Chains A and B, each alone.
Chain A
């Protein structure tokens, strides 16, 4: 390829790149994090995003009996839907994954209950209620003491037994 052709090609490329930028109509409307707050459910693995509030296992037991037991069974042992208490060994690939035998992060429990439960009325629990349910489930699973309160400081420190048993399958994709 001649120098002139290379220059022409480079110019074309530049034009194409510029025009694709110029084509963007930039129609996104500015919004503030305060305005987004009600939708911002994200909690990260280190606890970032956990809201204020607090709850204990005793408080959680009452909420569980009212809003959770129908699907998850007495004492969290499972009903029409999965158990939230207990779990067998991971001794087969089809082993049932439970909070205590599988979940790696305590934050996931708070995050999932808050965003998706109860089934018929997701996102109706207060943050205190979610913390209380997490405390109840963790206490039933002997991950915390009966009297331990769960809040933004204590919850991320709960040690999940299976925490270190995960292998990133395709690290190059990250």
Chain B
């Protein structure tokens, strides 16, 4: 691996300095400095930005008449109709439903509520918040029942946190790269700002037994989804979440109340939370001992994976977003870690031969999405784009080869929508063809 040495900054270097192979440029290129970018991946070419208009400007009709009446709850523009979640089971057949976040059509660190991913094992329940209760019992001095009304009167905390399904990105275990977009590959992770009550406050109130090591969390949905959570996590940063990006939780994300366990497997962050039982051993529930226990190449399996480990992927460009012509582009993507704050993201345009440090968009928050950006001059020849993240706990995102060395890969090619295993956090590679087409590749 080569690391190009960054040039000392200085006004005399007014041209864009390469910082790694195949056209990666100094981050100052991102700040503009009078340089015209070729534009977003599928937007118009450089000419439209720098060239003179062919005809004199005139007003469009929408500028010449009153606009539409406001709606009580606004929806995106009709021109954004394609920006939706992909559904795995749109007719609600008797199996799990998945709705995946379109990362390649978004640009930010907070996922809009309507686009936050959802996995529902037996549909979303239609819960009346006035009738919902949260019970805390088991190894406690006094079992307690909370209503939504009572929970709303507790001191609140607010924090950003990503939530990721343990099966997100698992198509990268396929022995050959599955040809699909970032939404199908990585769409089971989203990030929101959550507001609620610290779980430790409620556990203290119930007088939990200090010898208890586990807590069973259970939902009010049809399958009463149930997971065992270490008390260590429950007393650390666990939250009884009531609000998502400022409004009440979405039905697909646990309305009216969910357990938030920042950095942990999404399935453990039980939605529609109605019961917490403090216990001395795990329940060995279906989801913890079957679904989210990945099989290893030697036939054994991991149990209690819990953590969503440090990961990053490039969203722009990515499959489906063509590069229309050679020129300057901004490579951008998302990095996050269940074990802390992102400290560094490196980007490569030559399949990992050389790397350069990407700019991180502030604020960089623990267990939340961090946006990274890298300036790139694409010369029109084939390239392979990769990103790799580091966190403040000292963890490094592994290469795919490193993941496969311990976790294995499939014997048959995986299909879109499948889950050949769980917990993939290795590098994703995008191959750029001379035509500007972007494909999923292994490099």
Residues of A within 8 A of B (CB): 20, 23-33, 36, 39-46, 48, 71, 80-81, 89-95, 97, 102-105, 107-108, 111-112, 115-116, 119-120, 122-123, 165-171, 173-174
Checking A20, A30, A111, A119 against B283 with a beta-carbon cut-off of 8 angstroms, the contacting residue is A111
B74 at the interface (CB under 8 A from A): no
Contact B286 A123 (CB under 8 A): no
- A105 and B284 contacting across the interface, CB-CB below 8 Å: yes
CB-contact partner of B282 in A45, A93, A122, A170, under 8 A: A45
| A39 pairs with B300, CB closer than 8 A | no
Q: Give Cα A48–Cα B407 distance, bound, in whole angstroms.
A: 34
Q: CA separation between A174 and B228, bound complex, in Å?
A: 11
Contact of A116 among B223, B301, B421 (CB under 8 A): B223
24 A–B pairs (Cβ distance < 8 Å), ordered by A: A24-B204, A25-B153, A28-B136, A28-B206, A30-B144, A36-B137, A39-B274, A40-B275, A42-B277, A71-B94, A94-B295, A94-B412, A97-B290, A97-B293, A102-B301, A105-B289, A107-B284, A165-B301, A167-B296, A169-B304, A170-B305, A173-B230, A173-B307, A174-B213
Question: CB distance A31 to B143 under 8 Å?
Answer: yes
Q: Which residue of A lies closest to B206 (CB)?
A: A28
Q: Which of A42, A81, A89, A169 makes the CB contact (< 8 A) with B216?
A: A42
Q: How far is the CB of B213 from chain A (nearest CB, A)?
A: 7
Distance between Cα atoms of A71 and B206 in the complex (Å): 42
Given known A26-B205, A111-B285, contact A169–B302 (CB-CB < 8 A): yes
Q: A80-B94, A93-B173 are in contact. List 14 more A-B contacts (CB 8 A).
A: A24-B201, A24-B204, A28-B146, A29-B144, A31-B143, A31-B144, A36-B143, A39-B275, A44-B282, A92-B410, A93-B296, A97-B293, A102-B290, A169-B302
Residues of the B chain whose Cβ atoms lie less than 8 Å from the Cβ of A81:
94-95
Query: B145's contact among A28, A94, A103, A167, by CB below 8 Å, is which?
Result: A28
CA distance A147 to B204 in the complex (A): 48
Contact for A30 among B143, B173, B277, B300, CB less than 8 A:
B143
Interface residues of B (CB under 8 A from A): 93-95, 121-122, 135-137, 142-147, 150-151, 153-155, 173, 201-202, 204-206, 213, 216, 218, 222-224, 226, 230, 232-233, 274-275, 277, 279, 281-286, 289-290, 293-297, 299-307, 407-412, 414, 418, 420-421
Distance in Å from the Cβ of A104 to the closest Cβ of chain B?
5
Complex Cα distance A165/B293, Å? Answer: 11
Contact A115 B226 (CB under 8 A): yes
In Å, the complex CA distance between A40 and B135 comes to: 10
| Cβ–Cβ < 8 Å partners of B302 in chain A | 166-169
The residue among B202, B204, B277 with the most chain A CB atoms within 10 A of its own CB is B277
A46 and B214 CA atoms in complex are apart in Å by 14
What separation, in Å, do the CA atoms of A105 and B297 have in the docked complex? 22
Contact B284 A45 (CB under 8 A): yes
Q: Which residues from A are CB-within-8-Å of B155?
A: 20, 23-24
CB distance from A138 to the nearest CB of B (A): 16
Q: Which residues of B contact A95 (CB under 8 A)?
A: 295
Task: Compute how far the CA of A33 lies from the CA of B139 in the bound complex, rounded to whole angstroms.
Answer: 11
Interface pair B230/A93, CB less than 8 Å apart: no
The 4 closest A-B pairs by CB, nearest first: A28-B144, A116-B223, A27-B150, A94-B420
By beta carbon, the residue of chain B nearest A95 is B295
